[in-house]
Protein backbone atom coordinates (compact mmCIF):
# COMPACT_ATOMS: atom_id res chain seq x y z
CA UNK A 1 0.00 0.00 0.00
CA UNK A 2 1.40 3.37 -1.03
CA UNK A 3 1.28 6.39 1.27
CA UNK A 4 0.16 9.93 0.47
CA UNK A 5 1.19 12.53 3.04
CA UNK A 6 -0.07 16.10 3.20
CA UNK A 7 1.83 18.75 5.14
CA UNK A 8 -1.00 21.25 4.66
CA UNK A 9 -4.39 20.85 6.21
CA UNK A 10 -7.31 19.72 4.09
CA UNK A 11 -10.68 19.61 5.84
CA UNK A 12 -12.50 16.34 6.44
CA UNK A 13 -14.53 16.52 3.22
CA UNK A 14 -11.46 17.37 1.15
CA UNK A 15 -9.42 14.59 2.76
CA UNK A 16 -12.21 12.11 1.98
CA UNK A 17 -12.10 13.19 -1.68
CA UNK A 18 -8.34 12.58 -1.78
CA UNK A 19 -8.75 9.13 -0.25
CA UNK A 20 -11.58 8.28 -2.66
CA UNK A 21 -9.41 9.26 -5.63
CA UNK A 22 -6.67 6.85 -4.51
CA UNK A 23 -8.06 3.46 -3.52
CA UNK A 24 -5.28 1.29 -2.23
CA UNK A 25 -3.33 4.25 -0.86
CA UNK A 26 -3.14 5.43 2.73
CA UNK A 27 -3.71 9.16 3.24
CA UNK A 28 -1.97 10.82 6.19
CA UNK A 29 -2.27 14.46 7.27
CA UNK A 30 0.78 15.59 9.26
CA UNK A 31 0.09 19.33 9.12
CA UNK A 32 0.92 20.98 12.40
CA UNK A 33 2.61 17.86 13.81
CA UNK A 34 6.30 17.58 14.62
CA UNK A 35 6.38 14.03 15.94
CA UNK A 36 8.38 10.91 15.18
CA UNK A 37 5.22 9.41 13.67
CA UNK A 38 4.86 12.39 11.32
CA UNK A 39 8.50 12.21 10.29
CA UNK A 40 8.19 8.48 9.68
CA UNK A 41 5.12 9.03 7.51
CA UNK A 42 7.00 11.59 5.42
CA UNK A 43 10.01 9.32 5.10
CA UNK A 44 7.82 6.51 3.76
CA UNK A 45 5.65 8.71 1.54
CA UNK A 46 5.38 7.89 -2.14
CA UNK A 47 3.47 11.13 -2.72
CA UNK A 48 3.76 14.33 -0.69
CA UNK A 49 1.23 17.14 -0.94
CA UNK A 50 2.75 20.51 -0.07
CA UNK A 51 6.22 21.73 0.79
CA UNK A 52 7.87 22.92 4.02
CA UNK A 53 11.11 22.49 5.95
CA UNK A 54 10.23 18.92 6.94
CA UNK A 55 9.69 18.01 3.30
CA UNK A 56 13.00 19.65 2.42
CA UNK A 57 14.74 17.36 4.92
CA UNK A 58 13.04 14.33 3.39
CA UNK A 59 14.15 15.35 -0.10
CA UNK A 60 17.78 15.31 1.08
CA UNK A 61 17.41 12.04 2.99
CA UNK A 62 19.11 9.15 1.21
CA UNK A 63 16.44 6.59 2.06
CA UNK A 64 13.23 8.46 1.17
CA UNK A 65 10.52 6.71 -0.85
CA UNK A 66 9.31 9.83 -2.63
CA UNK A 67 8.23 9.53 -6.27
CA UNK A 68 6.11 12.65 -6.71
CA UNK A 69 5.91 16.01 -4.92
CA UNK A 70 2.72 18.01 -5.51
CA UNK A 71 3.43 21.57 -4.40
CA UNK A 72 0.31 23.39 -3.23
CA UNK A 73 1.70 26.74 -4.33
CA UNK A 74 2.64 27.94 -7.80
CA UNK A 75 6.26 28.96 -7.18
CA UNK A 76 9.08 26.43 -6.88
CA UNK A 77 12.06 28.73 -6.28
CA UNK A 78 12.43 27.42 -2.69
CA UNK A 79 12.40 23.78 -3.80
CA UNK A 80 15.73 22.07 -4.69
CA UNK A 81 14.96 21.25 -8.31
CA UNK A 82 18.34 19.69 -9.12
CA UNK A 83 18.05 17.32 -6.17
CA UNK A 84 14.56 16.20 -7.21
CA UNK A 85 15.69 15.73 -10.79
CA UNK A 86 18.67 13.64 -9.68
CA UNK A 87 16.34 11.44 -7.61
CA UNK A 88 13.90 11.01 -10.47
CA UNK A 89 11.13 12.60 -8.39
CA UNK A 90 8.34 14.32 -10.31
CA UNK A 91 7.28 17.82 -9.28
CA UNK A 92 4.00 19.54 -10.04
CA UNK A 93 2.45 22.79 -8.83
CA UNK A 94 -0.93 24.32 -8.05
CA UNK A 95 -0.62 26.89 -10.81
CA UNK A 96 -4.10 28.05 -11.72
CA UNK A 97 -5.29 28.55 -8.14
CA UNK A 98 -4.38 32.24 -7.99
CA UNK A 99 -5.81 34.20 -10.97
CA UNK A 100 -8.96 35.57 -9.30
CA UNK A 101 -7.39 36.66 -6.01
CA UNK A 102 -4.15 38.04 -7.43
CA UNK A 103 -5.71 39.86 -10.39
CA UNK A 104 -8.06 41.60 -7.95
CA UNK A 105 -5.09 42.58 -5.79
CA UNK A 106 -3.25 43.91 -8.83
CA UNK A 107 -6.13 46.20 -9.68
CA UNK A 108 -6.61 47.17 -6.03
CA UNK A 109 -3.02 48.46 -6.05
CA UNK A 110 -3.26 49.92 -9.54
CA UNK A 111 -6.43 51.88 -8.84
CA UNK A 112 -5.35 52.95 -5.36
CA UNK A 113 -2.09 54.39 -6.67
CA UNK A 114 -3.82 56.02 -9.64
CA UNK A 115 -6.69 57.55 -7.69
CA UNK A 116 -4.44 58.27 -4.63
CA UNK A 117 -6.64 56.22 -2.32
CA UNK A 118 -3.50 55.05 -0.50
CA UNK A 119 -2.64 58.68 0.32
CA UNK A 120 -6.20 59.38 1.54
CA UNK A 121 -6.04 56.36 3.86
CA UNK A 122 -2.75 57.61 5.33
CA UNK A 123 -4.24 61.07 5.80
CA UNK A 124 -7.25 59.50 7.50
CA UNK A 125 -4.96 58.09 10.18
CA UNK A 126 -3.93 61.64 11.15
CA UNK A 127 -7.35 63.21 10.51
CA UNK A 128 -5.82 65.33 7.74
CA UNK A 129 -8.14 66.82 5.09
CA UNK A 130 -5.88 67.01 2.05
CA UNK A 131 -7.53 66.48 -1.35
CA UNK A 132 -5.04 65.21 -3.94
CA UNK A 133 -4.35 67.31 -7.01
CA UNK A 134 -2.59 64.45 -8.81
CA UNK A 135 -5.28 61.79 -9.22
CA UNK A 136 -5.14 60.08 -12.59
CA UNK A 137 -7.28 57.67 -14.59
CA UNK A 138 -6.58 54.10 -15.67
CA UNK A 139 -9.10 54.03 -18.49
CA UNK A 140 -7.50 54.02 -21.92
CA UNK A 141 -3.95 53.65 -20.63
CA UNK A 142 -1.35 51.04 -21.65
CA UNK A 143 -0.56 48.15 -19.32
CA UNK A 144 2.22 45.64 -19.83
CA UNK A 145 2.00 42.25 -18.17
CA UNK A 146 5.36 40.56 -17.79
CA UNK A 147 4.65 36.85 -17.50
CA UNK A 148 1.49 36.03 -19.40
CA UNK A 149 0.39 32.90 -17.56
CA UNK A 150 -2.94 32.32 -15.84
CA UNK A 151 -2.61 35.34 -13.52
CA UNK A 152 -1.41 37.60 -16.32
CA UNK A 153 -4.23 36.49 -18.60
CA UNK A 154 -6.92 37.19 -16.00
CA UNK A 155 -5.34 40.60 -15.38
CA UNK A 156 -5.39 41.31 -19.11
CA UNK A 157 -9.07 40.38 -19.24
CA UNK A 158 -9.89 42.90 -16.51
CA UNK A 159 -7.70 45.55 -18.17
CA UNK A 160 -9.75 45.23 -21.36
CA UNK A 161 -12.84 46.26 -19.37
CA UNK A 162 -11.04 49.55 -18.67
CA UNK A 163 -10.39 50.05 -22.36
CA UNK A 164 -6.69 49.61 -21.75
CA UNK A 165 -4.13 48.63 -24.36
CA UNK A 166 -2.65 45.38 -23.10
CA UNK A 167 0.91 44.35 -23.96
CA UNK A 168 2.44 41.07 -22.83
CA UNK A 169 5.84 39.47 -22.43
CA UNK A 170 6.22 35.71 -22.40
CA UNK A 171 9.07 33.34 -23.13
CA UNK A 172 7.55 31.98 -26.34
CA UNK A 173 6.08 35.26 -27.57
CA UNK A 174 2.96 33.31 -28.52
CA UNK A 175 -0.21 35.44 -28.70
CA UNK A 176 -2.95 35.01 -26.10
CA UNK A 177 -6.54 36.07 -25.60
CA UNK A 178 -7.10 39.54 -24.06
CA UNK A 179 -3.63 40.78 -25.11
CA UNK A 180 -3.37 43.34 -27.89
CA UNK A 181 0.25 42.35 -28.55
CA UNK A 182 2.67 39.78 -27.20
CA UNK A 183 6.47 39.93 -27.24
CA UNK A 184 9.49 37.97 -26.08
CA UNK A 185 11.71 39.20 -23.26
CA UNK A 186 14.33 40.63 -25.65
CA UNK A 187 11.85 43.45 -26.33
CA UNK A 188 11.21 44.14 -22.64
CA UNK A 189 12.65 47.66 -22.55
CA UNK A 190 10.74 48.61 -25.68
CA UNK A 191 7.49 47.42 -24.08
CA UNK A 192 8.27 49.20 -20.80
CA UNK A 193 8.77 52.50 -22.62
CA UNK A 194 5.19 52.33 -23.90
CA UNK A 195 3.57 51.36 -20.60
CA UNK A 196 1.69 53.39 -18.03
CA UNK A 197 1.46 50.33 -15.79
CA UNK A 198 3.94 47.45 -15.57
CA UNK A 199 2.78 44.27 -13.85
CA UNK A 200 5.42 41.69 -12.95
CA UNK A 201 3.92 38.17 -12.78
CA UNK A 202 7.20 36.31 -13.27
CA UNK A 203 8.45 33.22 -11.45
CA UNK A 204 11.97 33.35 -10.05
CA UNK A 205 14.40 31.45 -12.27
CA UNK A 206 18.00 31.85 -13.34
CA UNK A 207 16.76 33.87 -16.32
CA UNK A 208 14.40 36.17 -14.40
CA UNK A 209 16.56 36.99 -11.36
CA UNK A 210 16.98 40.80 -11.27
CA UNK A 211 15.38 41.08 -14.69
CA UNK A 212 14.08 44.43 -13.48
CA UNK A 213 17.04 46.65 -12.69
CA UNK A 214 18.24 50.19 -13.24
CA UNK A 215 18.12 49.87 -17.04
CA UNK A 216 14.50 48.74 -16.99
CA UNK A 217 13.32 51.45 -14.60
CA UNK A 218 15.13 54.03 -16.72
CA UNK A 219 13.24 52.76 -19.78
CA UNK A 220 9.87 53.29 -18.08
CA UNK A 221 7.84 56.50 -18.17
CA UNK A 222 8.30 58.81 -15.19
CA UNK A 223 4.51 58.60 -14.77
CA UNK A 224 4.42 54.80 -14.75
CA UNK A 225 3.48 52.50 -11.89
CA UNK A 226 5.29 49.21 -11.23
CA UNK A 227 3.44 46.30 -9.59
CA UNK A 228 5.19 43.11 -8.52
CA UNK A 229 3.15 40.10 -7.42
CA UNK A 230 5.53 37.49 -8.90
CA UNK A 231 8.71 36.99 -6.90
CA UNK A 232 10.86 39.55 -5.10
CA UNK A 233 14.08 38.23 -6.58
CA UNK A 234 13.03 39.23 -10.10
CA UNK A 235 13.62 42.86 -9.07
CA UNK A 236 16.82 44.62 -8.04
CA UNK A 237 15.43 46.25 -4.90
CA UNK A 238 18.15 48.90 -4.66
CA UNK A 239 17.48 49.96 -8.27
CA UNK A 240 13.73 50.10 -7.59
CA UNK A 241 14.18 52.26 -4.49
CA UNK A 242 16.48 54.60 -6.39
CA UNK A 243 13.94 54.91 -9.23
CA UNK A 244 11.14 55.68 -6.76
CA UNK A 245 13.17 58.20 -4.77
CA UNK A 246 14.51 59.96 -7.88
CA UNK A 247 11.11 60.14 -9.59
CA UNK A 248 12.10 57.92 -12.51
CA UNK A 249 8.83 56.06 -11.94
CA UNK A 250 5.73 57.37 -10.18
CA UNK A 251 4.96 54.57 -7.77
CA UNK A 252 4.95 50.88 -6.96
CA UNK A 253 2.64 48.23 -5.55
CA UNK A 254 4.66 45.39 -4.03
CA UNK A 255 3.55 42.09 -2.54
CA UNK A 256 6.86 40.22 -2.84
CA UNK A 257 10.36 41.14 -1.74
CA UNK A 258 13.92 39.89 -1.94
CA UNK A 259 13.91 39.61 1.83
CA UNK A 260 10.78 38.40 3.59
CA UNK A 261 9.53 39.44 6.06
CA UNK A 262 10.59 42.92 5.03
CA UNK A 263 12.82 44.29 7.84
CA UNK A 264 11.31 47.12 9.89
CA UNK A 265 14.18 49.44 9.00
CA UNK A 266 13.80 48.86 5.25
CA UNK A 267 13.42 52.13 3.27
CA UNK A 268 10.44 50.81 1.28
CA UNK A 269 8.23 51.19 4.35
CA UNK A 270 8.59 54.97 4.36
CA UNK A 271 8.11 55.76 0.67
CA UNK A 272 4.85 57.66 0.15
CA UNK A 273 4.46 56.42 -3.43
CA UNK A 274 4.50 52.74 -2.50
CA UNK A 275 1.84 50.26 -1.38
CA UNK A 276 3.19 47.20 0.43
CA UNK A 277 1.35 43.97 1.21
CA UNK A 278 2.96 41.02 3.06
CA UNK A 279 3.06 38.37 0.29
CA UNK A 280 -0.70 37.85 0.60
CA UNK A 281 -2.24 38.62 -2.79
CA UNK A 282 -2.85 34.91 -3.39
CA UNK A 283 -4.80 34.46 -0.15
CA UNK A 284 -8.44 33.51 -0.56
CA UNK A 285 -10.95 31.39 1.37
CA UNK A 286 -11.32 29.29 -1.79
CA UNK A 287 -7.62 28.39 -2.03
CA UNK A 288 -7.71 24.81 -0.78
CA UNK A 289 -10.86 23.96 -2.74
CA UNK A 290 -9.18 25.15 -5.94
CA UNK A 291 -5.94 23.38 -5.07
CA UNK A 292 -7.91 20.21 -4.37
CA UNK A 293 -9.31 20.19 -7.90
CA UNK A 294 -5.75 20.11 -9.27
CA UNK A 295 -4.61 17.55 -6.69
CA UNK A 296 -7.49 15.16 -7.44
CA UNK A 297 -6.98 15.38 -11.19
CA UNK A 298 -3.26 14.74 -10.79
CA UNK A 299 -3.77 11.88 -8.34
CA UNK A 300 -6.19 10.08 -10.64
CA UNK A 301 -3.81 10.47 -13.56
CA UNK A 302 -0.89 9.29 -11.43
CA UNK A 303 -2.79 6.17 -10.38
CA UNK A 304 -3.69 5.28 -13.96
CA UNK A 305 -0.62 6.57 -15.85
CA UNK A 306 2.21 6.79 -13.34
CA UNK A 307 2.54 10.57 -13.47
CA UNK A 308 0.47 13.72 -12.85
CA UNK A 309 -1.12 15.49 -15.82
CA UNK A 310 -1.26 19.14 -14.73
CA UNK A 311 1.48 21.67 -14.00
CA UNK A 312 4.50 19.39 -14.26
CA UNK A 313 7.62 21.46 -13.63
CA UNK A 314 10.06 21.68 -16.51
CA UNK A 315 13.58 21.28 -15.12
CA UNK A 316 15.05 23.52 -17.82
CA UNK A 317 12.68 26.49 -17.50
CA UNK A 318 12.39 25.99 -13.71
CA UNK A 319 8.61 26.38 -13.66
Structural domains in the chain, CATH included, are 2-96+285-305 (3.40.50.720), 99-276 (3.40.50.720)
* pTM score, whole prediction: 0.95
Of 279, 290, 301, 310, the catalytic one is 279
Whether pLDDT at 236 is above 80: yes
Give the end-to-end CA distance of the chain in Å, rounded to a whole number: 31
Whether pLDDT at 113 is above 90: yes
Residue 39 annotated to the active site? no
Of 20, 207, 215, 260, the catalytic one is 260
- What's the rounded mean pLDDT across residues 42-54? 95
Whether pLDDT at 274 is above 90: yes
pLDDT confidence of 171, banded at 50, 70, 90? Answer: very high
Question: According to the model, what pLDDT value does residue 194 have?
Answer: 98
Whether pLDDT at 38 is above 90: no
Residue 265 annotated to the active site? no
- What's the rounded mean pLDDT across residues 75-97? 97
Question: According to the model, what pLDDT value does residue 1 have?
Answer: 77
**DSSP per residue, the chain:** -EEEEESS---HHHHHHHHHHSTTEEEEE-TT--SHHHHHHHHT-SEEES--HHHHHHHH-TT----EEE-SSS--TTS-HHHHHHHT-EEE--TTSSHHHHHHHHHHHHHHHHHTHHHHHHHHHTT-----S-----TT-EEEEES-SHHHHHHHHHHHHTT-EEEEE-SS----TT-SEEE-GGGHHHHHHH-SEEEE-----TTTTT-BSHHHHHHS-TT-EEEE-S-GGGB-HHHHHHHHHTTSSSEEEES--SSSSPPTT-GGGG-TTEEE--S-TT--TTHHHHHHHHHHHHHHHHHHHSS--S-BPPTTTT-
Question: According to the model, what pLDDT value does residue 76 have?
Answer: 97
Residue 231 annotated to the active site? yes
Whether pLDDT at 37 is above 90: no
Question: According to the model, what pLDDT value does residue 36 have?
Answer: 81
Amino acid sequence: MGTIVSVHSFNQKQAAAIQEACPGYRYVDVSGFETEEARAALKNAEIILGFNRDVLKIIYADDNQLRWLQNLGAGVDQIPLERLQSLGVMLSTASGVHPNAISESIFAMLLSLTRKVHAAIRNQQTQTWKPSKETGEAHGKTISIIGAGAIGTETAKIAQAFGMRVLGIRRTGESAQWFDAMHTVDRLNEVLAQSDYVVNCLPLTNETRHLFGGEQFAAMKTSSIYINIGRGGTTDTAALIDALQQGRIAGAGLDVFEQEPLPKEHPLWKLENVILTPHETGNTPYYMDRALTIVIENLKHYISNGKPCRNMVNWQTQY
